[in-house]
Copies of this chain bind each other. A is one copy, B any other.
Amino acid sequence: MNEEFQGYKGRALQVLKRIGARVGDIVRVLKKGQKFEGILIPRSEFGDDKHIVIKLRSGYNIGIFIDKDTEINKIGPGVKPTFSPPPLPDQKTKLPRVAVLSTGGTIASRVDYRTGGVRPALTANDLYSVVPELSDIAVIEAQILFSIFSENITPNHWSQATKYVARHIKHGVAGVVVAHGTDTMGYTAAALSFALQNLPVPVILVGSQRSADRPSSDAATNLIGAVKAAASAPFAEVVVAMHETVNDQSIIFHRGTKTRKCDTSRRDAFKSINTSPLARFKNDKITMLTDNYNRRESQRKLTTKPLFEEKVSLVKFYPGLNPGVIKWYAENGFKGIILEGTGLGHISSRCFPIIKKAIARNILIGMTSQCIWGRINMNIYNTGRDLLKLGVIPLGDMLSETALIKMMWALGNTKDEEEAKRLLTSNVANECLCRTVF
A: residues with CB less than 8 A from B are 44, 46-47, 60-64, 149-155, 157-158, 181-184, 187-188, 261-266, 269, 308, 310-322, 324-325, 328-329, 332, 340-350, 369-377, 379-383, 385-386, 389-390, 401, 404, 408, 438
Given contacts A152-B349, A348-B151, contact A373 B438 (CB under 8 A): no
Question: Given the complex of chains A and B, what is the CA–CA distance between A44 and B149 in angstroms?
Answer: 48
Once A342-B151, A382-B149 are accepted as A-B contacts, the answer to whether A371 and B318 lie under 8 Å apart by CB is no
CA–CA, A198 and B181, complex, Å:
44
User: Bound complex: CA of A324 vs CA of B331, how far in Å?
Assistant: 12
Interface CB pairs A-B, < 8 A, 9: A62-B438, A149-B349, A149-B383, A151-B319, A154-B348, A264-B345, A269-B371, A310-B322, A318-B401
- B residues within 8 A CB of A372? 262-263, 372
Q: Does the CB pair B328–A264 fall under 8 Å?
A: no
A265 to chain B, nearest CB (A): 5
Contact present for A371 and B263 (CB under 8 Å): yes
> Taking the nearest CB of chain B, how far is it from the CB of A381, in angstroms?
7
Does B264 contact A62, Cβ atoms closer than 8 Å? no
Which B residue sits closest to A373, measured CB to CB?
Answer: B263
Asked if residues B184 and A264 are in contact (CB atoms below 8 Å), the reply is no
Bound-state CA distance A390–B152 (Å) is 17
- What residues on B are CB-neighbors of A181 within 8 Å? 343
A342 in complex: contacting residue of B46, B155, B261, B350, CB < 8 Å: B261
- Which residues of B lie under 8 Å from residue A150 when comparing CB positions? 342
**Is there an interface contact between A343 and B60, defined as CB atoms closer than 8 Å?**
no
* Leading 4 A-B pairs by shortest Cβ distance: A264-B374, A46-B389, A183-B342, A183-B343
> Could you tell me the distance in whole angstroms from the C-beta of A398 to the nearest C-beta in chain B?
12
Contact (Cβ within 8 A) B264 A63: no
Having A44-B382, A60-B380, A325-B329, one finds 19 other A-B pairs with CB under 8 Å, namely: A47-B385, A61-B379, A151-B341, A151-B342, A151-B383, A152-B349, A152-B350, A152-B383, A183-B343, A263-B373, A263-B374, A264-B374, A264-B375, A265-B377, A266-B374, A269-B371, A310-B320, A310-B322, A372-B372
A187 with B325: CB separation less than 8 A: no
Closest to A344 in B: B264
Say whether A343 contacts B261, CB under 8 Å: yes
With known contacts A324-B332, A386-B46, A438–B379 Cβ distance under 8 A:
no
Among residues of B, the one whose C-beta sits closest to the C-beta of A148 is: B349
B344, A265: Cβ atoms closer than 8 Å: yes
Contact between A320 and B374, CB atoms less than 8 A apart:
no
Residues in B with CB closer than 8 Å to A153 are 319
How many whole Å from A243's CB to the nearest CB in chain B?
14
Query: Which among B47, B155, B386 is the interface contact of A320 at CB below 8 angstroms?
Result: B155
Docked-complex contact A386 and B44, CB < 8 angstroms = yes
**Which B residues touch A151, using CB under 8 A?**
317, 319, 341-343, 346-349, 383
Which residues does chain B contribute within 8 Å of A47, judged by CB atoms? 385, 389
Q: How far is the CA of A329 from the CA of B153 in the complex (A)?
A: 24
Indicate if the CB atoms of B46 and A184 lie closer than 8 Å.
Answer: no
